[in-house]
Each structure stands twice: as C-alpha cells, then as structure tokens.
Homo-oligomer: A and B are copies of this chain.
Amino acid sequence: MTEEIRQGFTLWLTGMSGAGKTTISSLVERRLRGHGARVERLDGDEVRKHVSRGLGFSREDRDENIRRIGFVAKLLSRNGVIAIVAAISPYRAVRQELRLAIGAFVEIHVDCPMDVLIARDAKGLYKKALRGEIANFTGVSDPYEPPLNPELVIDTSTETPQESATRVWNKLKELGLIDFEHELSPCE
C-alpha cells in the first residue's frame, strides 16, 4: 500500500462577491479531476456552514472564518490533495498568514471593476448593499484589500471563465505544481 505522496497545494481565489471565483474554481476543479488528481473545492459560503456557524462579518469574524478554511486547506495540501478555495477573504494579513502556514500556496486575485459587478449583480446583493440594506458588504460598506503579489490576476470583465481557467492552469504548470503526461483539452 506504500505509495509516493504527491505534492498537494492550495489554490486560493480571492476577490469580491460576484467576480467569478466559484465559476473559475469549478472549471479548474473539473479539469484536475479529469486528470485523476485528488481535489477538494472549499467554497467560502459553503464551508462557513460547516465550520463557522455563528460567526458574522466583522473583521474579526471574517478572519477567524478564513483561518478555519485555511486550516482545512493546509491539512488537505500536506496530504497530497489540491485544495481549491474560493472565498472573498478581503483582508491581506490573514491571507499572508495562511501563505506562510501552508507553504504551497497559490494566490489568484479574481478581479472585476465595480461598475461591472454592479451591472451583473446576479444575486441582487450590490443593489441591496448600495441601498444600505446589507452591513459589512465587501467593496461597498467594507474594505477589500487586493493582494500585492498574487501569483496571478484575472480580470473577469475582459476574459471568459474558460480563458481564466486556462490561465490558472498554465500558471500551475509554470510553477511546477501540475505535470500531466497526456494533457486533456479543456473541454474533455
């Protein structure tokens, strides 16, 4: 049963609500699974229900939530799993803390101009936040601190989700984190 333990890592997508983190992470996840990789996607909203019931959206609570997600990602990563995290994670300091704790940490800033986010607003959250109906809404009534040195910046107002996913993929190859012998096309 002995086997070589493959390198796991954490792919961390940070960015504002509606920027496209979940869409891009799902595409990357699917492609990795297609190659037989061990992958676990940790979606911020989803994981919150499991490990952060009762926490709110103050800076302190957000940071605690992100630390918990980071703890899970770290355990997965060090056991050879690729943990893909899609979480707003607005504060730079805690992301930096996780980078140091996890080591194999790839930070992707999923960026999108505010006017495009407001125009999209699929869940109607920006309208509500702008009317003052949602407190602590990142980008409106709460800060978002973009990464200073992310491995990659994606602008989802100028590229399709497929293009973004391919850029993430190529970055992972460039960093030597993935290396598949027979590479599938993005659509397989």
Q: Is B35 a contact of A79 with CB atoms below 8 Å? A: no
Residues of A whose CB lies within 8 Å of any CB of B are 1-3, 5-6, 35-38, 40, 50-51, 53-54, 64, 67-68, 71-72, 75-76, 79-81, 178-181
This protein's copies in its complex: 2
CB < 8 Å neighbour of A1 from B40, B72, B79, B180 = B180
Q: Please, how many angstroms separate the alpha-carbon atoms of A181 and B1 in the complex?
A: 7
Nearest Cβ distance between residue A178 and chain B, in whole angstroms?
7
Q: Which of chain B's residues have a CB closer than 8 A to the CB of A180?
A: 1-2
CB < 8 Å neighbour of A3 from B2, B6, B75 = B6
| Smallest Cβ-Cβ distance to A67: which chain B residue | B50
Q: Is B75 a contact of A51 with CB atoms below 8 Å? A: no
Q: Please, how many angstroms separate the alpha-carbon atoms of A79 and B8 in the complex?
A: 11
Q: Is B50 a contact of A5 with CB atoms below 8 Å? A: no
CB < 8 Å neighbour of A50 from B1, B35, B71, B179 = B71
Q: Please, how many angstroms separate the alpha-carbon atoms of A2 and B179 in the complex?
A: 10
